[in-house]
Structure 1
Amino acid sequence: MKSNYFVRGGLWPLGWVVRVFLLFVPVVLVQLFSVLGVCRVYGAGRVRIGERVPDVALFRDAGGKVVRLSGLRGKLVVLDFWASWCGPCVSRIPLVDSLQERYGSEVQFVTVTSQTESEVASFFKAYNGGKGSVVPWVVSDSELGGMFPHNTIPHYVWIDSAGVYRTFSQSVSDAGLREAFKKGRFKVQDLKDVELLPYDYKRPLFLSGNGGEAGRLDYYSLLTGFSEHLGSGSSILVDSVRMKITAHNCSLINLYWLAYCGGNPLRFQTFNTRVETMDSARVISGKVGLEYIDFLRKGGGYCYELLLPASMAAEGYRMMQADLARFFPYKPFIEKKEVPCLALVRTSSVDKLLPHDKEAEPVNDFKPASVVLRNFWLDAFTAYLSLRMSKLGLRVVNQTGLDHPVDMELGVLLSDLEATNKALAAYDLKLVKSTSVLETFVLRDGAGSLSASPVKRSE
């Protein structure tokens, strides 16, 4: 049985055509786990559903005559976009051939590929024992792909007997064909009028508009260097849909604190951290203000984000820890030891810290000589006190037992223990010397990597 090729730019009658399945599949073109081949096609002159298709040349018949779309009026025309590396496409070749033979007087299939004639001919040499095909083929195509943009294959375009584009599909069937050419019923696809955007596989997907913007992000993990266009900070978002851990323009020690915070971003701070690495100046900086920004800009700053579905939120911190272990040659430890401390305790059973409005937006405003907490947690206050009272060499812990957000305002120099206690008395609170088992975050060089550096960044 003869098959004939149409090559865009020329007509190629090839006589007997045979097919071979390529065992080598370029990984940049297809994912093996994909149900459909990925083959994004762009072009001008797009035809939309309900519009008449231009009278393009399709193929040569057995006698070498060019067959145009107008020459197939009265028949249902199905354009079958495919590629030799697409497993689902290849598996459907026998079905398309059988449907063409069964309904040849009423239906005309035309298979279309952007691959070259030599690629397709090589494919056919060993396919199905060297048997030919009853379906004409178009190779080296860009024109038809431009008229009917698609981003997966196989992709079938249905053109009715009057030359009007009626629908598209990812499969064909005996029943579907009969509904179309006998009853004129087409299963109309929900084709949104969306322009397909260029995608460069050499660049990150969706970044800087590569492939457009992601409509829904289920998971990603991102690590970059310093960004001039962001401030410095971190956040943890957990809701019914997702968990998102974010750090922007932070030092490396900030990333470790976030990864090991267990949901409490104040768990580790400078006062309960020891960095024992050979290159500690890369990990933590004692600088402030512009000097700190300069430290971040010169290689000490990182941006990180991890997004997970809510169902995986319990794994979020472990996944961030694993990311840090992959990229940085350090080993973290959490030491627990009973040490002297200052304990924030209650002096009465009267709770004077209940928030006035439990639905109010949380506020925590800390300054060296003032504190404002509204609908916020006392742990934030004790963490800040640990910083302000560092000259005493004692960490401050919350031993009030209060398990709700609080309202509290203090106007006092927080590095002055006596003055702070006088201000706290209004809330029946007091700082007392005590002992407690406290945590210290320790970062050391990993085994065999005392002189190692973080993974080199690509420019």
Structure 2
Amino acid sequence: MLNNMKNNFILILLFVLFGVVNNAVAQQPEAALKIGDQLPDFIISKLLNAGTDRVSTEENTGSFKDRLLIIDFWATSCSGCVAALPKMEALQKQFGNKIKVLPVTYEERALVTGFWKKNKYTKVLALPTVVEDNKYKAFFPHEAIPHEVWVYKGEVIGITDADYVDAYNIQQVLDGKTPNWPVKNDYYFYDASKQPLFTPDEKQEHMNSIHTYAAIRGYMEKDGASAAGVFGNTGTVRDSVKKTIRTWFINQSIFSSYATNWNAIVSLKDLVKPSSSIDPNQIVWEVKDPKKYMSQSTLTPDFKTGYRGYWMRENAICFESVKRDTGQTNKDISRGIIADLDSLLGLKVRWEKRKEKVFVLVSTGKKTVISPAQAKANEDVVNSVDELVYKLNRLAKNPYVFNETKGEEKLDLTINSWTDLSAIGKALAPYGLLLKEEERLVDKFILSERKKI
């Protein structure tokens, strides 16, 4: 559909009226290291083994130079970082002295020690962490965590998101294979408010009349880093002199491009569906390959295409349009973007009413005595009605499940299969709950590929 998107773009163009200016790049500190640089030797002054509350001042980065060093920037306030620490320790145990996983935080030792001993993820870990850091962040500045730095035999070979830290990638590096991971650079982004995404025809640069266009192109990056950065990737500018409205977004999935603009038009809470978000079972894919439009967690991890960063490189798009300013509202602008995307991508994306089989959870008032749940391997324990309904609606194959109880019922329910609604219904009966089947007119988010003429 979007062949060779990195080098080409699909363009609906009447005329273009923009000059070329330099890229806007947020500056990193001069000391920042980049891919290919050597990590200097220095003493780690505060290395906390939280399990024993021991601080060592004997560790030197030079001692890591015969190994793969993975620097994991984290903080106690980052729930995702904390939840990943058991995985980090498991990887350290798996690869032994071939690697060094080194969590690093700027936070004070006393805070980290107290947190580590109480948190459910960390209280059983013995993985050392650097505390009160000011050295590592000077070499590897960042704004968003987790932030992962890969150093092999003293050389910086990767700066990535956390999902790249897994056994597969570690083994690839140890086997001598050169990674081509997207670079996590929080300080670079393409400032589309100052420079258009599309270069104008030189003959049109000095024309004074107003011209309009809409265009898309593929993923944008610089030195391996996403042009969107972490500071923003979408915007709207009204030019009071030229009487135009310019809108753009950078490096978004096709699905999120549509969803964002539909959310600006339609109040999701007013639609007939189980939640105020767009859950997987609310989406209807009338397309050959949904993976082109939305990142799928079921992709098999491999060295080329299994991670979100790789998927974004292959499938994300950038969009820009210039329209006459006729006093459009924000909703009008979003409608225009959707119409342009439909035309450029050969799609028709909309909310649509459809009559479907759904399940409705209601109270019967006939609650009986229930024994505490004893979950077996591969079983989940659910503790509330809200949690149950949320998880049921997160599966694309499930019909809508509406919660029409008061939502206050406490559960202690084991779930073996989230798609076996009959079994779940039977398990709910002792709690005074009934999962009944109905037919309702509901709202679905439809993505259709238009037939080529």
- Larger relative contact order (CA 8 Å, sep ≥ 6): 2
Q: TM-score range by the shorter chain?
A: 0.3 to 0.5
TM-score (norm 2): 0.37
